[in-house]
Chain A
Amino acid sequence: MTLRTVGQPVGRIDGEEKVRGEARYAIDLKVPGMLHGRILRSPYPHARLLHVDAAKAAQLPGVRAVLTRDDILRGDRVERRYGRVYKDQSVVALDRVRYVGDPVAAVAAVDRETAEEALQLVEVEYEELPGVFDPVAAMAPDAPLLHEALGKQRNVCSLSTTVRGDVEQGWRESDLIVEETYTSATTQHCHLEPHGCIVAFDPSGRVTVWSGTQTPYGVKMNLAELFRLEPERVRVIVPYVGGGYGAKSHLKIEPIAAFLAWKSGAPVRIVLKRQEVFFTITKHGAVTRMKTGVKRDGTLVARQVEILYDTGAYAEGGPLVAKKAATLAAGPYKLAHVKTESYCIYTNKPSAGAFRGYGVPQVALAYESQMDRIAEVLGMDPLELRLKNVVEEGSRFATGEALHSVGFKPLLVQVAQAIGWGKAEGGTAGEKKAERGGAGDPKAGGTRRRGKGLAIMIKSSNMESTSRCGLQVNDDGTVTVLTSTVEMGQGPRTMLAQIVAEELALPLQAVRVHQPDTDVTPFDTMTTASRSTFFMGNAMVRAAAEARRQLVALASQLLEVRPDDLVVEGGRVSVRGSPDKGFGFGDLARRAREQGSPLQAEGVFEAKEPHGEEPVSIPSFYLVGAGAAEVEVDTETGQVRLLRYVAGADAGKALNPLLAGGQLRGDATIGIGQTFFEEMVFEGGQPVNATFLQYVLPSFKDIPELFDTVIVETPHRNGPYGAKGIAESTIACVAPAVGNAIRRAVGVRLRDLPFTTERVLRALAGLQDGGR
């Protein structure tokens, strides 16, 4: 079948709304009579709460509700503790605070200024406790404990392992064993729209939530559970979301807004200030120890990985990140023996959770840097070493699965070609030798040295999840799509409209996508893990096929012509060869309604995690990504310039090459920030750079002048048109590709992110910490 809309680089269907400034985000919404909520936060990283009194704040004119621990401990409106994985969190602190920024009290008032003023009238007495700010220190036997009441030993929040074969045997079979430790800094998502929501309780006890969340059904279910309500009593509406990257999944600020709304009897709006966003969720800093055994010919034999994810004060989604990473930590290589241990460790810092890449960047830094180290010791080309060991169709993964749709080989070759691998500038034989040998390209001259580096990564999407959607044909012949997939920039509205347009042979403009609203749009697990193209896309193909069947069946009945003799084209169903003999979609919609069966279709796609004996075939998919970097290092200043970058992925099938390219480059751009400078800095638990003035983000000046993408397409047997998700394919490759390029340029190996100028200089001066 020839595709017409799918596979075309069409502009976003939400484009015009967005460029006109008319797209509404949570922070743009207003509800009549709404109050403004503000949160009082702990100034200490770890302290006992001796006394909390909001009486004076409550008396300030204009204040309509205050929330303190008394409301939770004395009332029965909410559960005392909640949490997606462990119930270790409360709406406001009950007995102690565990990080700077931990909510202690909240106020709802007629305007922001009054709410702000009221916060200063809340009296809190703290007794400071010793804190712990580093996952290694937190595991020491005498470290202060954050959650002793939960029986958490040595601050271990969770431990996940993956074992395949026997690594001890693997070491014996190896000719060379390499062991190193890599670290990644805690960073923040920095979605430009801060978290924002409005919550309203109506007199019947029904709750409506307008929230910029990635997980409308997650918020619905979790809020219902926290407030002891039937889920049907909670409605969640999601407008456009101004960036998420994982930070807006599941409950964030909704519980506080909901409690203030319930107590005040009025709608309450909370929009965080930028500093508060840094307190709300972070990306895990991590310490990754990796040991790899390899044969002299470059065959990888065994790999052991221990990861300590710095998960902050509360579990949040951390254990799920660590669990997934445990299955992925050995990388996309054929390995007979794998053992991974992935820990989440509590520290007195903001909670870490889902972030684009979901634990993989922290391990890909280690395994891809180590691949180059091995290549160097064995005198092999890093590209050859990867091609020799990388997984391919049918390869057994560390989890035991037989992999499918993993086009690493063509991707690696094309990405390497795009960066000019094996050729220095000018491409003479001598330079080629310099490249392969790892020495810097002398052509750069002076104190500047150039080098190139490669990296790949593998990440799984959700293994178990469900997408449902609805589709209705309107009287004007247009189609309305009902989906709970959240548009946060990644383009699902356009992608889904393309699918419907394709299946019903409609122009794209005839398809409208309804905003997520749990009273209207059907269940979808969540908008995370790059899953929407695959899961919701599949559901939409099915819904559209059903709608087409209904349209054709009705036209067949009306025209008294066999369905096989009808064609669907241009918003009409007509007799083959006689375009005039037929009905428009709008006509059919009206007639169907008159007949008592409106033209409505549903689609469902569900995947369950396989359990049982090998071999297993997974219904979901893996993201396959690659990157190639060329850098120029100034040996005098330590400055690294990223001259060229290539971001690549196996898309299965790129449903929209324009948007797909945007995902690959955008994902890699966050990677550039996290490679060179992004880091949340804490001193004694106090965040010192939790503002955009001090936390530097990649700008127009930080991206390379040459920034290309490579998309290969290895169709996935279960994907819509063969497609898979791609939005997390490239971020994890940037740091190791750059690190490998720096190594080849100047001979130093950086193991700690970010690769700041200072670290480069220290490494050049032979001052690298501990000689690991």
Chain B
Amino acid sequence: MTLALRVNGQTHPVEVEPYELLLDVLRDRLNLTGPKDGCGEGVCGACTVLLDGRPISSCLLLAAYAEGSEIATVEGLARDGGLHPLQRAFIEHGAFQCGYCTPGMLMMAKALLDRTPRPSEAQVREFMSGNICRCTSYVEIIQAVLRAGDG
């Protein structure tokens, strides 16, 4: 089947099998390898993308269901060459090490800040708790999100 997927503001016609997951279509057919496969069951958050602004696990969603929605991946976060404040804060605070969870972590944080521009620490912990990082202690991520929230 042919889908017209709207990703990071651009429409991509893409030929997919009906059973294909959004994560695989993004990675294998559109070559957007930012979103990562960590667990394959929607638990780790490495595959998080935004669908009409809502964070979703792209490893659980059939690509066909994403048609007609605005899909945002980490590749679209920086604008006009400049890093998003979250991206800058992540570097400054050491909010990642291996970086594998980072694309999902950033998109989840963006969803939070879009709703709650100045979240409390408790809100960050609550909202982000579905994203796993095995390298850092999360403290650095919390600091980065709070910092980016300060504008």
B38 near A274 with CB under 8 A, answer: yes
Q: Does B114 lie at the interface of the complex (its beta carbon under 8 Å from any beta carbon of A)?
A: no
Q: Does A488 lie at the interface of the complex (its beta carbon under 8 Å from any beta carbon of B)?
A: yes
> Which residues of A lie under 8 Å from residue B83 when comparing CB positions?
16, 19-20
B138 near A700 with CB under 8 A, answer: yes
Given contacts A11-B94, A665-B137, contact A20 B124 (CB under 8 A): no
A243 near B34 with CB under 8 A, answer: no
Q: Mark B91-104, 1 if CB is under 8 A from A, else 0.
A: 11010111111110
> Which residues of B lie under 8 Å from residue A11 when comparing CB positions?
91-92, 94
Given contacts A243-B100, A662-B94, A692-B43, contact A669 B36 (CB under 8 A): no
A193 near B94 with CB under 8 A, answer: no
A243–B32 Cα gap in the complex (Å)?
A: 21
Given contacts A20-B78, A691-B41, contact A669 B138 (CB under 8 A): yes
> Which residues of A lie under 8 Å from residue B91 when comparing CB positions?
11-12, 15-16, 19
Q: Does B14 lie at the interface of the complex (its beta carbon under 8 Å from any beta carbon of A)?
A: no
> Which residues of A lie under 8 Å from residue B138 when comparing CB positions?
669, 698-700, 703
A665 near B41 with CB under 8 A, answer: no
Q: Does B70 lie at the interface of the complex (its beta carbon under 8 Å from any beta carbon of A)?
A: no
> Which residues of A lie under 8 Å from residue B35 when comparing CB positions?
21
Q: Does B146 lie at the interface of the complex (its beta carbon under 8 Å from any beta carbon of A)?
A: no
> Which residues of A lie under 8 Å from residue B139 when comparing CB positions?
665, 703, 707
Chain B nearest CB from A223 CB (Å) reads 24
B39 near A274 with CB under 8 A, answer: yes
Q: Does A240 lie at the interface of the complex (its beta carbon under 8 Å from any beta carbon of B)?
A: yes
A692–B59 Cα gap in the complex (Å)?
A: 14
A661–B94 Cα gap in the complex (Å)?
A: 9
Q: Does A90 lie at the interface of the complex (its beta carbon under 8 Å from any beta carbon of B)?
A: no
Residues of A660-694 contacting chain B, CB below 8 A: 661-662, 665-666, 668-670, 691-693
Interface residues on A, range: 35 or more
B132 near A21 with CB under 8 A, answer: no
By beta carbon, the residue of chain A nearest B99 is A18
Chain B nearest CB from A212 CB (Å) reads 10
B136 near A700 with CB under 8 A, answer: no
Q: Does B140 lie at the interface of the complex (its beta carbon under 8 Å from any beta carbon of A)?
A: yes
Given contacts A240-B99, A697-B134, A701-B129, contact A21 B75 (CB under 8 A): yes
Given contacts A665-B139, A699-B129, contact A27 B99 (CB under 8 A): no
Q: Mark A520-537, 1 if CB is under 8 A from B, else 0.
A: 000000000000000000
B33 near A191 with CB under 8 A, answer: no
Q: Does B74 lie at the interface of the complex (its beta carbon under 8 Å from any beta carbon of A)?
A: yes
Q: Does A599 lie at the interface of the complex (its beta carbon under 8 Å from any beta carbon of B)?
A: no
By beta carbon, the residue of chain A nearest B43 is A692
A693 near B135 with CB under 8 A, answer: no
A694–B27 Cα gap in the complex (Å)?
A: 26
A243 near B44 with CB under 8 A, answer: no
B142 near A192 with CB under 8 A, answer: no
A245–B97 Cα gap in the complex (Å)?
A: 12
A274–B135 Cα gap in the complex (Å)?
A: 17
B99 near A14 with CB under 8 A, answer: yes
Q: Does B128 lie at the interface of the complex (its beta carbon under 8 Å from any beta carbon of A)?
A: yes
Q: Does A24 lie at the interface of the complex (its beta carbon under 8 Å from any beta carbon of B)?
A: yes
Chain B nearest CB from A439 CB (Å) reads 31
Chain B nearest CB from A691 CB (Å) reads 6
Residues of B56-106 contacting chain A, CB below 8 A: 73-75, 77-78, 83, 87, 90-92, 94, 96-103, 106
The residue that B36 contacts in the complex, of A193, A489, A659, A701, with Cβ under 8 A, is A193
Chain B nearest CB from A552 CB (Å) reads 34
Chain B nearest CB from A731 CB (Å) reads 12
B136 near A665 with CB under 8 A, answer: yes
Q: Does A23 lie at the interface of the complex (its beta carbon under 8 Å from any beta carbon of B)?
A: yes
B39 near A25 with CB under 8 A, answer: no
> Which residues of A lie under 8 Å from residue B141 when comparing CB positions?
700
B100 near A192 with CB under 8 A, answer: yes
The residue that A692 contacts in the complex, of B38, B97, B126, B136, with Cβ under 8 A, is B38
A242 near B36 with CB under 8 A, answer: yes
A658–B43 Cα gap in the complex (Å)?
A: 29
A274 near B40 with CB under 8 A, answer: yes
By beta carbon, the residue of chain B nearest A665 is B137
Chain B nearest CB from A494 CB (Å) reads 10
> Which residues of A lie under 8 Å from residue B41 when comparing CB positions?
274, 691-693
> Which residues of B lie under 8 Å from residue A194 when comparing CB positions?
37-38
The residue that B132 contacts in the complex, of A12, A240, A665, A692, with Cβ under 8 A, is A692
Binding site for B on A (CB under 8 A): 11-12, 14-25, 27-28, 189-194, 240-243, 245, 271, 273-274, 488-491, 658-659, 661-662, 665-666, 668-670, 691-693, 697-701, 703, 705, 707
Given contacts A15-B96, A489-B135, A491-B97, 5 further A-B contacts (CB under 8 A): A18-B99, A20-B83, A243-B97, A665-B137, A701-B126
CB-defined A-B contacts under 8 Å, sample of 27: A11-B94, A18-B102, A20-B87, A21-B33, A22-B34, A22-B75, A25-B100, A27-B37, A191-B100, A192-B98, A192-B132, A192-B134, A243-B135, A273-B40, A274-B38, A274-B41, A489-B96, A662-B97, A665-B139, A666-B135, A697-B132, A697-B134, A699-B130, A700-B129, A700-B131, A703-B137, A707-B137
